[in-house]
Amino acid sequence: ITTQENVATFKRQIKMLGLSYDWSREINTTDPNYYRWTQWIFLKIYNAWYDPQLHKARPISELLIPSGLIGREKYEFIQKHRLAYLSEMPVNWCAELGTVLANEEVGEWVEKGYTVERRMMKQWMLRITAYAERLEKDLNDVDWPPGIIEMQKNWIGRSEGVEAYFPLCDSKSKISVFTTRSDTMFGATYLVLAPEHPLVDLVTTSEYRIVVDEYRSQSKRKSELERTSLDKEKTGVFTGGYAINPATKKSIPIWIADYVLLTYGTGAIMAVPGHDERDYDFAKKFSLPIVEVVSGGNISQAAFLEDGVGVNSANDEISLDGLPTSEAKKKMTKWLEFKQVGKHSVKYKLRDWLFSRQRYWGEPFPLIYLEDGTVKALPEDKLPVLLPDVESYKPSGSGESVLATIDSWVNTVDPETGKPARRETHTMPQWAGSCWYYLRYLDPSNKTEFLSREKERYWMPIDLYMGGAEHAVLHLLYARFWHKVLYDLGYVSTIEPFRKLVNQGTILGEDGQKMSKSRGNVVNPDDVIKEYGADSMRLFEMFMGPLEDTKPWSTRGVEGVHRFLNRVWRMIVNEDGSLHESIKDMPLTGDQERLLHQTIKKVTHDVESLDFNTAISQMMIFVNEFLNLETKPRKAMETFVLLLSPFAPHIAEELWGKLGYPRTLAYEPWPQYDELKTAVDTLEMVIQVNGKVRSKLAVPFDIDDEELKKIVFADENIKRHLNGKQILKIVIVKNKLISLVVK
C-alpha cells in the first residue's frame, strides 16, 4: 500500500515536470508479475555452478559428479557447487530488537543502550567471487568515469601471492595463511588468527582458554570498521599454541587479534614485524620477536619495501640471499610448491554476497525444505511465490522472518512428491529487483519470458546509465554480476550491461546539508512548480552546475532562471499575447548571425556532453543580445525556440504556437550550425611581457607572425615595458597571444 502511494506521487511529479518517459514500459519490482521473474533468475543462479576451466557458469545438470557419490553425499556435493548456497555467516544481531542490523546502524542502537553482537546465522550466499576476475577485467572495456572504475577495482581487490601452510606443533592440522610477500617468510615470527577462525579452539591450550574466550566475546561486539582502523590501538591475546614456520623450521606462537578478519584471505596471517607496520606495532606492544630479513629496510619506520634490494635469509634447502623482492617471491613460491607447503594463489577482497534477509518485504525464495532437511528448488511453473498478507510485518524476534510465524504459508507440499515441506522464510534483499530492471524495460509485459531474445538483441547494451554516485560499488557490481550469469547461461548477448555511466550529483538542501525530514530542509517539487512552473524547475536543476557535482538548492536561483524565461517570453510575445511586433522576416546582421550560430553550436555540443549549465548560459547571452532590439529576424527567434525546447518544453511549445505554427515543435529537426558563420574576422590578441599581460590589440583573424610583431612593437604600452631591454624570446600562440621574454 505504501509503495503504491509512493509510486503514484513520483509519477505525478515526473509527469508534471514534462519528462518524456514511455509509460507503456513502466515496471514495479514489488508487482508479482515482475518479481516472478526475479525469482526465476534466482532459480537460474541456484541451478548453476561455475566451471573454472571454461571460466563461465553452467547449468547444474552439467556438473560432473564423482561416480562414488550417492544419496546425501551427492546432494552435498551438488549444493557445494551452486552459485547460491547456504552458509553460516557473522551478522550484527540485536536481541532486544530481534533483528539483524547493518554496520551503519550498529552505532546508533548501541548509543541508545541496546546490545549488538556478531552472531553466526545461516544465510543464503551468492557466489559473486567466482566472477571476481571477469568483473575486474571487463571494466577495461566500459566507458565509465575513471574514478568509479578505480573504486570497483579496489573493491574487488585482486592480489597475487601464496597460500602457505604452517603445521601445528601439537596436532596434525595446519594453518593456511595468505601473503603477498612470501619473500619475507623468514621473518615471520608469529601467526595471527581471526578470533572467529575455526582452528582457534584447537590451538588454544587450557591455561589460555579463559583469556581467549573472553577476547572472542569482546570482539564480537566490535564492528568490522572498528576492528580494522589503523589509528586504533591493536589488541590481541596469545592462544598458548605454536606452529612451525616452514621456511625457518622454528616454532612460532599463535595469537588471535581482531584486526585479522575471517572474511578476507584465509582468516589468518603470518606476521612479519620487521617489514609490516601493523605487525610491527603489534609485536612491539606484546614484546614479540622482530627479525629483519630484507636489507635496506628501516625497522624503526617498519618499511614494507616493495623494491627491497636484497634478502638475507636462508635455510639448508633454500636461500634468497641477494635477490630483489620480485625474484625472491618467485623463488620462494616455487620452493613452497615443491615442498608442498604452499601454493601460488590469487585472492580477492571481494566477498560472496550475503543475499538473504529476515524481513517480511522482499521476494520470497522459490525454495522449500523437505522433511529430511534438504533444500529443493520449486519448478518454474510454481512461480511466482507470493508474499502472504500479514497483520504486522514486524520482525518475529527469533531472528527469523515474520513469515516463519505464518504456518499456513510456511507449510506446503513438494509439488513433485506431494510430501509435506516447509517454505524458505528468508526473503531477498531489495538489490534483487534492481539487479535486472533495465532488462525488463525492454519487454515489460512479456508473460512467457523474462525478456524476449529478439528485444534483448535490439536494445542492449544500455547506451547511457545515469544514477547516483552512491551506487558506484554495490549496485553496479551486483547488477554486473547477475548480467554475467545471464550471459553465461545464454539469456543475454552482451558481457556488460552498461556501456556508458554517468553519476549525477546529489541536490542538497538550501543549507548545504543533505535533504532530510529531520533537518527540515527538504525542497518539495510540488511547491517549486506551483510557484515558478515546471520549466523553471527543470531549467534551474540544469543550470545549477555540473551534472556530476553535489550542489545546494537555491530558491533565489530558481527566481533567476524564472526571470530568464520571462525575458524569453517578452522577446517574442507582446503583453496582449500577440506575436511581438519587432519580429520581422528579415536577414540577420553579421553579428546576429555569428551569435546565432555560436549558440546553436554551443547548445548542441553541450547537450551531447551533458554540460547543460553552460548551454543555458549561452542561451542567456543570446537573449541578452536580442531582447530589446527594435527589429528581430524571425528566423533567429524560431531557431532559438527550438534550442530551448528540450530544456523548457512547455514555454517553447507556446512560443512555437505564437510564431504561427499550429502543430507541436517536437518533430522539427534540430537546428544546424555553419562553422564558418561562428568565426570572427578580428580578434583580441593578448600581449605578455615576461608572463604578464601588458596590452591587448585587435588584429585580423589568422594574422601573419611578422605582421603581428610589427603591430606589437608599435604599441605604446608595450614600448614602455620593453624600454630598450633585450628580447630573449618570442612565443606566439595563433589567434590567442604573443609572449615576449626580455631582460
Partner RNA sequence: GCUGAAGUGGCGAAACUGGCAGACGCGCUGGACUCAAAAUCCAGUCCGGCUCACCCCGGGUGUGGGUUCAACUCCCAUCUUCAGCACCA
Task: Give residues 655-694 in contact with RNA (rule: CB under 7 A).
Answer: 684, 686, 688, 690-694
- Sites for RNA among residues 229-258 (CB under 7 A): 229-231
- Of 620, 629, 659, 711, the residue at the interface with RNA (CB under 7 A) is 620
Question: CB of 732: closest distance to RNA in angstroms?
Answer: 9
Given the complex with RNA, which of 243 and 708 has the nearer CB atom?
A: 708
- Of 341, 406, 492, 616, the residue at the interface with RNA (CB under 7 A) is 616
Task: Name the one residue in this structure whose C-alpha cell is 523553471.
Answer: 536
- Pick the piece of the chain touching RNA (CB under 7 A) from 8-16, 102-110, 242-250, 576-584: 102-110
- Of 39, 182, 184, 739, the residue at the interface with RNA (CB under 7 A) is 739
Question: CB of 349: closest distance to RNA in angstroms?
Answer: 5
Count other Cβ atoms within 10 Å, centred on residue 147. 12
Q: Which residues pair with 244 in a beta bridge?
A: 251
- Of 556, 576, 669, 726, the residue at the interface with RNA (CB under 7 A) is 556
Q: Tell me the three state secondary structure of residue 721.
A: helix
Question: Do 544 and 551 form a contact (C-beta atoms < 8 A)?
Answer: yes
The pattern of x and - marking residues 480 through 519 that bind RNA according to CB under 7 A reads --------------------------x-------x-----
- Of 56, 58, 567, 650, the residue at the interface with RNA (CB under 7 A) is 567
Q: Supply 606's cell numbers.
A: 553541450
Check residue 28 for interaction with RNA (CB under 7 A). no
- Of 624, 631, 672, 682, the residue at the interface with RNA (CB under 7 A) is 624
The pattern of x and - marking residues 328 through 357 that bind RNA according to CB under 7 A reads ---------------------xxx-xx-xx
What's the rounded Cα separation, in Å, for the pair 334 and 321?
16
Given the complex with RNA, which of 502 and 686 has the nearer CB atom?
A: 686
Strands 498-504 and 411-413: unpaired
Check residue 467 for interaction with RNA (CB under 7 A). no
Question: CB of 508: closest distance to RNA in angstroms?
Answer: 8
Check residue 695 for interaction with RNA (CB under 7 A). yes
Question: Do 474 and 349 form a contact (C-beta atoms < 8 A)?
Answer: no
Q: Angle, to 10 degrees, between the axis of helix 474-488 and the axis of helix 146-156?
A: 70
Check residue 430 for interaction with RNA (CB under 7 A). yes
Question: CB of 494: closest distance to RNA in angstroms?
Answer: 24
- Cα 234 to Cα 54, 270, 282: the distances in Å are 43, 16, 6
Q: Which amino acid is at 551?
A: K
Question: CB of 539: closest distance to RNA in angstroms?
Answer: 10
DSSP H stretches of helix in 549-611: 555-572, 590-608
Question: CB of 91: closest distance to RNA in angstroms?
Answer: 5
Q: Order of strands, edge to edge, in the sheet holding 411-413?
A: 375-377, 367-370, 420-423, 411-413
Check residue 613 for interaction with RNA (CB under 7 A). yes
Q: Which residues neighbour 25 within 8 Å (Cβ) at sequence distance 6 or greater?
A: 441, 444
Check residue 734 for interaction with RNA (CB under 7 A). no
- Of 211, 291, 473, 502, the residue at the interface with RNA (CB under 7 A) is 473
The pattern of x and - marking residues 157 through 196 that bind RNA according to CB under 7 A reads x---------------------------------------
User: DSSP per residue over 88-109, as a string?
Assistant: EEEEEEETTTTEEE-HHHHHHH
Question: CB of 314: closest distance to RNA in angstroms?
Answer: 33
- Sites for RNA among residues 248-307 (CB under 7 A): none
Q: Which amino acid is at 258?
A: D
- Pick the piece of the chain touching RNA (CB under 7 A) from 152-160, 363-371, 414-422, 480-488: 152-160
- Of 579, 610, 621, 659, the residue at the interface with RNA (CB under 7 A) is 621
Polymer length of the chain: 743
Question: CB of 601: closest distance to RNA in angstroms?
Answer: 10
- Per DSSP, 477 falls in state H
How many residues bind RNA (CB under 7 A)? The answer is 92
Nearest to 484 by CA among 526, 548, 439, 537: 439
- Pick the piece of the chain touching RNA (CB under 7 A) from 326-334, 379-387, 580-588, 615-623: 615-623
Residue 546 buriedness (CB in 10 A; 0-12 / 13-18 / 19+): middle
Given the complex with RNA, which of 70 and 230 has the nearer CB atom?
A: 230
Q: Which residues neighbour 704 within 8 Å (Cβ) at sequence distance 6 or greater?
A: none
Give the long-range contacts of residues 613-616, CB within 8 A, separation 24 or more.
Answer: 613/542, 613/543, 613/544, 613/545, 613/546, 615/542, 615/647, 616/539, 616/542, 616/543, 616/561, 616/647
- Of 14, 17, 151, 722, the residue at the interface with RNA (CB under 7 A) is 151
